[in-house]
Chain A
Amino acid sequence: MLLFVPQGLTKRSKRISKALDEMLEEMIEEHEVVPKAEGHLNDFIDTLLSLKDQPMHPHVEDAPVIDRRSIKGIVFDMVIGASETSSNVIEWAISELVRHPRVMESVQEELKHAVGMKKMVEEIDLGKLSYLDMVVKETLRLHPVVPLLAPHESMEDAVIEGYYIKKKSRIIINAWAIGRDPKVWSENAQVFYPERFVDSNVDFKGQDFELIPFGSGRRSCPGIVMGLSIVKLVIAQLVHCFNWELPYGVAHHELDMNEKSGLSMPRETPLLLIPTCRLLHETLVN
């Protein structure tokens, strides 16, 4: 059922934009005024301010210049892009692992060998975790964070596969449907089965069109490397340090896997779990 509800969306947009702009203005000003302490790690605002008033393309005449408004635009994108999307991937990965104890066991077994039970996972360990890589791929296949990607728009009339597509058409890519298509992924397309990637070169970097959670081409997500470094570390750490049980006697296969829509695709219901420590207590205190 579709309901059109007066929610004052434009009013809300205007109000929140004003609050956001005031906050970013204040923060940027503070970055300009307050001197940096020794050994200060430059945040994105610092980096962007160091490029302010410079052309975006150093070698191109009339190239646009980085100004205050573009700094705010970039900063806004980065905060939203780095937090919401990555946490959705982690949430879905853990949900799938809890639903599939066999896969969870395999990930934990890999961590036991690669990292050992006496220490927490370090980023340097992540390169050794090939099974975890497959789990992340399989999670992104079934739960692409932005299921319809960000829409594209045609800039001129075009003919594609004999079909006429007029200028200013909106192009929606259903990455979610592609990831679950049995013609592409065989009959078990709906099943969470990381081993499907064992002898496969399919990757999500945008070259293999059966797996495009980050889009592809010039408008693809520029933050893949940053996002994955966070996602893999958090998943590895969560399953290495803890065992996870469902509360209230819910069986693992009964875990609700519905998604809700929005800017990204989070779980509809929060993921409620009971952790128990896997590693030695003193390891964690250190």
Chain B
Amino acid sequence: MLCLTDINTGHNQFLSHHQSFIHINNKPNSNNMFHLTLLILLAPLVSLIYILHTTASRRRQPPSPPGPPRLPIIGNLHMMVGGREALPHRSLQSLSQRYGPIMSLQLGNVPTVVVSSPEAAELFLKTHDAVFANRPKFEAAQYTYGPESVAFAEYGAYWRGVRKVCTTHLLSASKVERFGPLRKKEVEAMVERLREAAAAREVVDLSERVGEVLRDMACKMVLGRNQDERFDLKGILLETMSVSGAFNVADYVPWFRPFDLQVCI
């Protein structure tokens, strides 16, 4: 189990670590003196190699977008989530306020760019959309229909094809209209059930009621039925959504895969 807090404390840990390093070297003994000498001799050489390397790579490529310092292995993964107060979208918002609307993060071994302004979003989704039209592969999606789905298929002929099928044959305005009577019937049935609750002055779980109606509507429209005595239709859908929505560590740090871990916020 690994518990990490936000970058402020990470920064402090780094400082205190650094201070203790100096402290140790302030107490000379023969062994430390040897290390110190070695350090003094090697330092210029290491710096020179570093400077040459970075200037060479700088000449080759522009800098990456700014971003927070990274930890070994997990990179900035710990900054994505910061407890109940900070779900990923909230944590990323506060980070972007510090590092800007185009920000680099390293999520495990996945280089990541976080976009947080309308102007930047336009660059990625419109101006250069062809470069960024692919989807990453997720572990959970590989077991379901990720590769065949419209939402997560790899960019290319297959994806273009299924998307076309959906927009022309399933989600077109005329198709939406065809299902009007179905929507009417389902919504009226919901109102009728709510009317009974109103008469009894009951407290209603509206989240549950609305979720139920929308699920019924979607199932009837897509599958032709919302109940099936052979299958636990609702259970299967809810579990699929729960698994797909979970934050899977193996998506970012592949050598965690055998441990089959999930991040809990």
Contact = CB atoms under 8 A, between A and B. Distances in A.
B107 to A, nearest CB: 7
B206 A91 contact: yes
Nearest to B230: A26
A2 B222 contact: no
A2 B262 contact: no
Contacts of A151: 135-136
10 contacts: A9-B140, A10-B139, A41-B179, A79-B222, A83-B218, A87-B207, A161-B123, A177-B93, A180-B93, A222-B167
B131 interface: yes
Interface stretch (A108-116, A133-141, A259-267): A259-267
Nearest to B153: A73
Contact of A155 (B132, B182, B225, B237): B132
A57 to B, nearest CB: 6
B111 A169 contact: yes
Nearest to B122: A209
A254 to B, nearest CB: 16
A131 B123 CA distance: 32
Main secondary structure of the interface of B (DSSP, over half): helix
Contact of B187 (A27, A216, A233, A242): A233
Contacts of A80: 237, 240-241, 244
A83 B223 CA distance: 13
Contacts of B110: 169-170
B222 A44 contact: yes
Interface in B49-93: 61-65, 77-78, 81-84, 87-90, 92-93
Interface in B213-242: 213-215, 217-225, 228, 230-231, 233, 236-237, 239-242
Contacts of B102: 160-161, 163
Given A165-B65, A229-B183, A273-B203, 12 more contacts: A44-B221, A48-B165, A56-B165, A73-B148, A160-B102, A162-B62, A208-B118, A212-B118, A234-B190, A234-B214, A270-B207, A275-B195
A14 interface: yes
Interface stretch (B11-19, B27-35, B38-46, B155-163): B155-163
Given A74-B149, A241-B194, A284-B192, A262 B64 contact: no
A4 B236 contact: no
Interface string A74-108: 11111111111011001100100000000000000
Contact of A123 (B183, B240, B263): B183
Interface in A13-57: 13-14, 16-17, 19-20, 22-23, 26-27, 31, 41, 43-48, 51, 55-57
Given A82-B217, A154-B134, A225-B173, A1 B83 contact: yes
Contacts of A208: 118
A172 B250 contact: no
Residue of B4, B131, B195 contacting most chain A CB atoms (<10 Å): B131
A3 B3 contact: yes
Interface string B106-133: 0100111111111111111110111111
A89 B263 CA distance: 26
Contacts of B152: 150
Which secondary structure dominates chain A's binding surface?
mixed
A272 B198 contact: no
B261 interface: yes
B23 interface: no
Contacts of A273: 203-204, 206
Contacts of B179: 41, 226
A191 B190 CA distance: 31
A43 B224 contact: yes
Contact of A13 (B61, B63, B140): B140
Contacts of B148: 69-70, 72-74
A277 interface: yes
B166 A74 contact: yes
A162 B135 CA distance: 24
A118 interface: no
A43 B135 contact: no
A132 interface: no
Given A70-B162, A162-B62, A275-B204, A4 B245 contact: no
Contacts of B166: 74, 77-78, 222-223
A255 B211 CA distance: 20
